[in-house]
Amino acid sequence: MDITQYLDSTYLKTAEQAGLTEIENALIVKQTIQEAIENNFKLVMIRPEYVKVAREMITISKSKLTIGTVIDFPLGQHNIDYKLNEAQIAIHNGADDLDFVLNYEAFKNGEIDKVKEEVFLGTKLGLENHKIVKWIIEVAALTNHQIIQLSALIKNVVIANFKEKDYESVFVKSSTGFYKTTAGKPNGATPETIKLMLENACPLPVKAAGGVRTYDEAVAMITLGVKRIGTSSAKAIASGKYSENDY
C-alpha cells in the first residue's frame, strides 16, 4: 500500500521543547518540509510561524505538498476571537489545513454552547476560505463516553450548518501529541479511541494523530477508516522502519 498520501509529516516542537536554539529548531522545520516534498507526503504540519517558509519552499520546488498548521496549540483554551485571529493569519500566510485545538476543558465543564460556537465559527472561517478544518479533541484527556459525545457534537454542528459537499473537509482529529499522561498511558491515537471517533463522527473524516510509528500501525489505522495520519515518523513509516519519535 502506498500510504504517502495519508501522511501529515509533523514537527510542532518549539525550540525550548526540543532543547535547541531558535536557529537549530528552524533548521529542523526546514528539513521536515524538504523531506515531505521529496517523499511526496500529503501534507507537512508545522507551527504557524513557519507557514510562510513552507509556502516559499513548496513554490520554489513546484511541489504538490500542502501545508497544515495548528491553531490555539496545544491547550485550546483561548477564546474564539483568539482562535479566529490566529487562523486568519495562517490563511493569509498560505496554510491549506487548519488544525484547531478544541476547548475540550470547556466541554468537560459542561459549556456546550461555547464549544458549539467555536466549532461553527472556526469551521465557517475555514470553509469560506476553501481550507480543510480539523478539530483536535485530545482523546487522552477524555473518557470513552466523552470521546463519543464530542465526536458527535462536532458532526452535528457541521451537519446542521454546512452543506453535504463540505463534510469531507471537516475532520475530527484525535490528539495534539503534547498532552501529559500518567502511568505510561498513551497520549495519542489508539485503535479503541479511533473506532469510537469513526463511529460517532461519521460522515466526517477522522485523522489519527500521535502514537503511529510503524508502517503496520499506519496500515491498521487506514484499514479502520482514517483518512489522515499525523506523525513525526512519516519517513520511517513510508520506508517500513520503526521510529522512536514521541509523536
Q: Which residues are catalytic?
A: 99, 173, 207
d(CA 42, CA 56): 17
Are 51 and 69 in contact, with CB atoms under 8 Å apart? yes
DSSP 141-173: GS-HHHHHHHHHHHHHHHHHHS-GGGGGGEEEE
For the chain, helix, strand, coil in percent to 5 are 50, 15, 35
Integer CA distances (angstroms), 66 to 92, 137, 153, 167, 241, in order: 15, 23, 28, 19, 24
